[in-house]
Amino acid sequence: MKQKLRAIRSRGTSAGNLQTAARTTATQRCINPSCGARFDINERIYVCSSCGGLLDVVQESTRDPEQLQTLWTRRLASFESRDRSGVWRYRELLPFADDAPIVSLAEGNTPIYDAPISAAYCGLHALNLKHQGCNPTGSFKDTGMTVAITQALILGAKTVVCASTGNTAASLAAYAARAKLQCAILVPRGQISHAKLAQSLDYGAAVLELDGNFDDAMRVIRELAEDESIYLVNSINPFRIEGQKTVAAELLHQRGWRIPDHVVVPGGNLGNSTALGKGFAELMDLGLIDRLPRLSVVQAEGAGPFANLFKSVAGSAGVSTALLSQHSTSDWSAWPALTPIEDPHTLATAIKIGAPVSWQKSLRAVLASGGTVLSVSEQEMADAKAIIGREGVGCEPASASTVAGIRRLVADGVIGPDEDVVAVLTGHVLKDTDYVIKYHQENLFSDGDVLADRRKVASTYRNPPTLVKATREAIIEGLRRHTSTQDTV
Ligand SMILES: [Zn+2]
């Protein structure tokens, strides 16, 4: 079996003709305005070799916006596999030639829901939830991974590797399996949820538990990436951002190109906000939209280095772009460096990151759109998650930071009650069922260094199971009691 797998892998990756696949006008460009160095689209590089800055994929496009809209809508009824993917449907936005060896699991195509209960909870008249947790492996990571693994094939990589708190690992493992590439996953010991570990194991990845935290894992894989046959697929990888940016197009397409006033996303490694910001900006450059939605990022209080930076420069949430301009702080490159948090704490493991690699790109996107950055408590996140659940929409804890953050921004007057708001949910409820069960059974404690730091999270909207006798009367009484306790929302 092993030999067979190896043979399949070598057929899949050593085909020289794949090397010719990317005939595209795209290049990689250093984001540092004082550098701006350009590199070939197929140069295996993760940061600028001149200054160490992050890289953007850039390409000139002069497509007619109406033709694009028509083409993308026509593809909704197509049976071609590229058109069935919610990422590759928008391939005019991606840096690949037509014959690229696409690795797809029909990702994207995620629903956008009306969420009246969450809206009322936030103090809004209406709220949309764009549920990226409905991707093939249950998180938004799939939209980036399909593109990054396609690029790995073009580069002739043998092994793909990432350091991950879980969702990236599960996604990479799945797409590597599809592409017949070896997959190595480095995870901080004890910091991975059961469901995410189960996914990575099932997809055949080598899961290596590290005696260290997420940032240690990041450091060691940067060292590994110097090996030519290894391709690094963390969110520093600009091709993942390319895939994730198509969510901006899908979201607007689903809304008939009606531009929201605000788009709010959770913030961990900040690849998500970076990608959406890039997506909206490129759609505006193409003429598909005439303004940017205000893009805001919500972090967990115990893992909020980006929120801390934003607060230290811009003051409290809600400082307008106009005010920022007056203080010459609208230029992201003039901002002080982000101070990492050595030992981040939050139960929302998907955003438990102390040194987010994409903070400059995310800051650029937030400032360009006039958005803001804030952090919310474990209590706010847990309650918001239960409220989202009452919509019949299940998400993982990190996703609920959005609704918790929107509620705060409405209370602070940053978002008006009549404004058009989209919250991006990033992971599926089944990603972390331990958390859900503990919340509803009043046994959820916040994460802390020592036992003394652990605080009980109040189960404000709990819905615990109850034991009843096996009689008709007992069941009717049980239902009556359940209704009376659940009416509080
Ligand atoms: Zn540079």
Q: What is the pLDDT of residues 476-486, one digit of tens each?
A: 999 999 998 88
Q: How far is the CA of 233 from the centre of ligand 1 (A)?
A: 20
**112-137+239-434: which CATH number, 3.40.50.1100, 3.40.630.30, 3.40.50.300, 3.40.47.10?**
3.40.50.1100
Q: How far is the CA of 34 from the centre of ligand 1 (A)?
A: 8
Contact 144, 275 (CB under 8 A): yes
Contact 67, 86 (CB under 8 A): no
3 state DSSP class of 423: strand
Distances (CA, A) of 438 to 346, 386, 446, 457, 488: 15, 12, 11, 10, 20
The Cα 146–Cα 177 span in angstroms is: 12
Tell me what the mean pLDDT of segment 193-203 comes to.
85
- Partnered with residue 300 across adjacent β-strands are 303, 376
Residue 136: CB atoms within 10 A of its CB come to 20
Q: How confident is the model at residue 4 (pLDDT cuts 50, 70, 90)?
A: very low
Q: How far is the CA of 191 from the centre of ligand 1 (A)?
A: 34
Percent of the chain residues topping a pLDDT of 90: 73
Structure tokens at 153: 């094939």
The Cα 258–Cα 88 span in angstroms is: 22
Burial class of residue 82 (count of CB atoms within 10 Å of its CB; 0-12, 13-18, 19+): middle
Q: How far is the CA of 267 from the centre of ligand 1 (A)?
A: 25
Q: How far is the CA of 26 from the centre of ligand 1 (A)?
A: 17
Q: How far is the CA of 238 from the centre of ligand 1 (A)?
A: 14
Domain boundaries, given as residue ranges, for the chain: 112-137+239-434
Residue 143 has a pLDDT of 98
Residue 190 has a pLDDT of 72
Q: How far is the CA of 117 from the centre of ligand 1 (A)?
A: 47
String of DSSP letters for 77-126: T--SHHHHSTTGGGGGGSS--TT-----S------EEE-HHHHHHHT-S-
Q: How far is the CA of 235 from the centre of ligand 1 (A)?
A: 18
Q: Which are the contacts of 43, defined by CB distance < 8 A and separation ≥ 6?
A: 28
In whole numbers, what is the pLDDT of the chain averaged over residues? Answer: 89
Q: What is the pLDDT of residues 356-390, one digit of tens each?
A: 989 999 999 999 999 999 999 999 999 999 999 99
Q: How far is the CA of 47 from the centre of ligand 1 (A)?
A: 8
Please tell me the pTM assigned to this model.
Answer: 0.91
Quickly tell me which residue has 């990022």 as its tokens: 297
Q: How far is the CA of 236 from the centre of ligand 1 (A)?
A: 14
Residues lying with their CB under 5 A of ligand 1, a single-atom ion: 30, 32, 35, 37, 48, 50-51, 53
Q: How far is the CA of 193 from the centre of ligand 1 (A)?
A: 37
Q: Which of 237, 67, 55, 75 is nearest to 160 (CA)?
A: 237
Is the pLDDT higher at 16 or at 403?
403
Q: What is the pLDDT of residues 17-37, one digit of tens each?
A: 344 444 568 999 999 999 999
Residue 203 has a pLDDT of 96
Q: How far is the CA of 122 from the centre of ligand 1 (A)?
A: 42
Task: Answer yes or no: is pLDDT of 95 > 90.
Answer: yes
Q: How far is the CA of 53 from the centre of ligand 1 (A)?
A: 5
Q: How far is the CA of 358 from the centre of ligand 1 (A)?
A: 15
Q: How confident is the model at residue 161 (pLDDT cuts 50, 70, 90)?
A: very high
Q: How far is the CA of 244 from the centre of ligand 1 (A)?
A: 23
Q: How far is the CA of 30 from the centre of ligand 1 (A)?
A: 5
Q: How confident is the model at residue 8 (pLDDT cuts 50, 70, 90)?
A: very low
Q: How far is the CA of 49 from the centre of ligand 1 (A)?
A: 7
Q: Which are the contacts of 392, defined by CB distance < 8 A and separation ≥ 6?
A: none
Q: How far is the CA of 39 from the centre of ligand 1 (A)?
A: 10
Q: How far is the CA of 40 from the centre of ligand 1 (A)?
A: 14
The Cα 180–Cα 239 span in angstroms is: 19
The Cα 148–Cα 242 span in angstroms is: 8
Q: How far is the CA of 29 from the centre of ligand 1 (A)?
A: 8
Q: How far is the CA of 43 from the centre of ligand 1 (A)?
A: 15
Structure tokens at 142: 């799939």
Q: How far is the CA of 278 from the centre of ligand 1 (A)?
A: 19
Q: Which of 417, 424, 416, 411 is nearest to 351 (CA)?
A: 424
Q: How far is the CA of 56 from the centre of ligand 1 (A)?
A: 11
Alpha helices in 412-455 (DSSP H): 433-440
Q: How far is the CA of 28 from the centre of ligand 1 (A)?
A: 11
Q: How far is the CA of 313 from the centre of ligand 1 (A)?
A: 24
Q: How far is the CA of 321 from the centre of ligand 1 (A)?
A: 27
